Amino acid sequence: MVTAPSVAAVRLVAHPDNPAGLRQSVAATLTHGPEGGFAVAYAIRGAIDELRLPTREHPAPNDALWSTTCCELFVAAAGGNGYREFNFSPSGQWAAYAFTGYRERAAAQLQAGFPAPMPSVRRDGDALHLDVVLPAVALPACDAWRLGISAVLETRDGRTGYWALAHAPGKPDFHHPAAFALTIERNNTA
């Protein structure tokens, strides 16, 4: 659970092409974490029992988490082209990717270079909370970050919806520069 003062609290917007009848909302709160990193707390509210939630597993890196319910975070250095993508599943699994430009994967595997973020997941009535702390070493070195905060929600009947701070025109695309709609400054105090 995040207890530090928030840097930003945001509500994510449903993509205009989401299937009809999805009754969930998604919000996120960011706080400065220890030693220059930050924490993000996602809150998915409404009709949680309608969601397909991956079963709880040992926290470990895994790929293709976006194919079902997961929370995502995109982090770029303000003014830069490269960015990092983080996926956090209610299963406890996670993924991290580095990109040199729009959808251009870097050759080096990002998740090997920092400690596991260990997502914490809890259910509270009709809300699902997913909290994670990202250490500074996982983030681009800079004075300010541009962030894209997003979520993929899949229902038990196979409908998939997309939520983000902002959506580019067309199909859902969390990698699009328009999705990086929040800028926060690094907290350089330990």
Q: Rounded CA gap, 112 and 37, in Å?
A: 17
Q: Can you read off the two tokens belonging to residue 152?
A: 């993929």
Q: What pTM value is reported for the model?
A: 0.91
Tokens 């309608």 — which residue?
A: 50
Q: Read off the pLDDT of residues 30-42 as tens digits, 9 standing for 90 and up.
A: 998 767 888 999 9
CA 4 to each of CA 10, 29, 31, 39, 54: distance values in angstroms, whole numbers, following the listed order: 16, 10, 6, 9, 29
Q: DSSP secondary structure string, the chain?
A: ---SPEEEEEEPEEPTTSPTT---EEEEEEEE-GGG-EEEEEEEES-GGGB--PPP----B-S-GGGSSEEEEEEEETT-S-EEEEEE-TTS-EEEEEEEETTEE-SS-GGGGS-----EEEEETTEEEEEEEE-GGGS-SSSEEEEEEEEEEEBTTS-EEEEES---SSS--TTSGGG--EEEE-----
pLDDT along the chain (190 residues), means of 10: 63 96 96 84 96 83 88 94 94 91 83 75 95 90 93 96 97 96 75
pLDDT of residue 2: 36
Q: What is the pLDDT of residue 103?
A: 94
Burial class of residue 4, CB neighbours in 10 A (0-12, 13-18, 19+)? middle
Check residue 116 and give its pLDDT: 78
Are residues 146 and 182 in contact, defined by beta-carbon separation less than 8 angstroms?
A: yes
In CATH, the number for domain 6-185 is 2.60.40.1190
For the chain, what is the largest distance between any 2 Cα atoms, rounded to a whole number of angstroms?
47
CA distance 183 to 142: 12
